[in-house]
């Protein structure tokens, strides 16, 4: 049943692409729009793992049940309470944004899940999740997680200028979109700065936090950077179009992958969906939010988006609308091609 935790490996969940999100405070709407973008474009079945404060659970269930059956049949979902298996729960809960540290405990909690895509609530999918899910097959024998760089240019990157703790690579990594092989994470002993013999993921989290808590600014993301600084062979780095943020266009366009292929996953951090600082990001959020599920995608999503983008050309991000539109247009064309093929197949039996 929707909303009920599953403890057995059912055939449907084995076929699922697993997507996890953590929602606390006022993040209900953002989370639902993210899930909507996932369902709109994805091909394979989705399993949503929603970690939420108890007060939000009834609202999630109510809203998800209101979606039309043509979409609800594409996914199943579980809603979990916020829990931390080691250390002080209140400390973890207050680390950076409310409940964000929950993502660190996903390998421990979701013991029956082999692989998982974690995203922040302020993420929008502009192409099928299937496409980032395929990256799991590109992992070599030691890689167990994938993230995008925090910045493309070290001289304007946050970690390269201000970090007071170890971090991955030259600019650090951003944890807002994180692909994980949970089985490998659970089975690995991680090198660290505390014990020479290595520690399991769960054993490592709280001592690591205690050691670095006076030096970290971005909470759990900093802890992940520290972990992969000591274990760089465990990380697969995917390009910036899979985690495209305002930083990629507000200082001039500096994500080459997005320029060539278009944005694949939009990450509206810094609250840009809800203010007027980056109207291009806000336009995408509002158009997906307002799209009536069973309407024509081109007519009710793509064309309104084009129209809204005309009002953003005076901004740095608005000067490159093709970067935001390219992948979403390609995705919608594929959706229609698939529907036409299905329709023709149903009406022409040979």
The whole model's pTM is what? 0.91
Q: Are 44 and 130 in contact (CB under 8 A)?
A: yes
* Residue corresponding to tokens 């070290």: 154
Per residue in 231-272, pLDDT (tens digit) is: 999 999 999 999 999 999 988 889 999 999 999 999 999 899
Task: Give per-residue pLDDT as tens, 33-84.
Answer: 999 999 999 999 999 999 999 999 999 999 999 999 999 999 999 999 998 8
Distance CA 115, CA 184 (A): 9
In this prediction, residue 5 carries a pLDDT of: 43
- 115-119 and 173-181 beta bridge pairing: antiparallel
- When computed from its CA atoms, the radius of gyration of the chain, rounded to whole angstroms, is 20
Q: What is the pLDDT of residues 178-209, one digit of tens each?
A: 999 999 999 999 999 888 889 999 999 989 98
- With helix as H, strand as E and coil as C, how does 211-277 read? HHCCCCCCCHHHHHHHHHHHCHHHEEECCHHHCECHHHCECECCCHHHHHHCCCEEECCCCCCCCCC
Per-residue pLDDT of 71-114, as tens digits, reads 999 999 999 999 887 777 777 776 656 687 899 999 999 999 99
């Amino acid at each position: 049943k929707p909303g009920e935790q599953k403890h057995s490996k059912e055939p449907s969940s084995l076929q699922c692409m697993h997507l996890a999100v953590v929602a606390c405070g006022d993040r209900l709407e953002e989370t639902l729009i993210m899930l909507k973008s996932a369902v709109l474009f994805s091909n394979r079945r989705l399993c949503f793992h929603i970690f939420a404060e108890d007060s939000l659970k009834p609202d999630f269930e109510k809203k998800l049940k209101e979606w039309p059956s043509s979409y609800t049949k594409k996914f199943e979902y579980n809603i979990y309470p916020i829990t931390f298996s080691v250390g002080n729960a209140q400390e973890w809960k207050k680390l950076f944004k409310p409940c964000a540290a929950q993502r660190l405990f996903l390998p421990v909690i979701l013991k029956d899940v082999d692989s998982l895509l974690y995203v922040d609530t302020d993420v929008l999918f502009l192409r099928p999740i299937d496409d980032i899910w395929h990256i799991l097959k590109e992992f070599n024998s030691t890689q167990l997680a994938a993230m995008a760089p925090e910045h493309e240019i070290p001289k304007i990157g946050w970690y390269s200028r201000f970090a007071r703790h170890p971090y991955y690579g030259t600019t650090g990594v951003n944890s807002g979109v994180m692909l994980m092989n949970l089985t490998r994470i659970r089975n690995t002993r991680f090198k660290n700065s505390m014990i020479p013999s290595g520690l399991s993921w769960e054993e490592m989290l709280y001592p690591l936090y205690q050691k670095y808590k006076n030096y970290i600014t971005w909470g759990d993301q900093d802890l992940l950077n520290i972990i992969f600084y000591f274990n760089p062979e465990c990380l697969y780095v995917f390009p910036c179009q899979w985690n495209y943020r305002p930083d990629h266009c507000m200082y001039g366009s500096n994500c080459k992958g997005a320029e060539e292929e278009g944005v694949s996953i939009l990450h509206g951090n810094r609250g840009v969906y809800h203010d007027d600082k980056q109207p291009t990001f806000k336009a995408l959020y509002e158009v997906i939010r307002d799209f009536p599920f069973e309407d024509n995608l081109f007519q009710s999503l793509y064309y309104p988006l084009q129209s809204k983008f005309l009002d953003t050309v005076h901004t740095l991000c608005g000067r490159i609308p093709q970067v935001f539109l390219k992948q979403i247009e390609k995705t919608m064309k594929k959706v229609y091609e698939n529907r036409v093929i299905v329709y023709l197949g149903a009406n022409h039996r040979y």
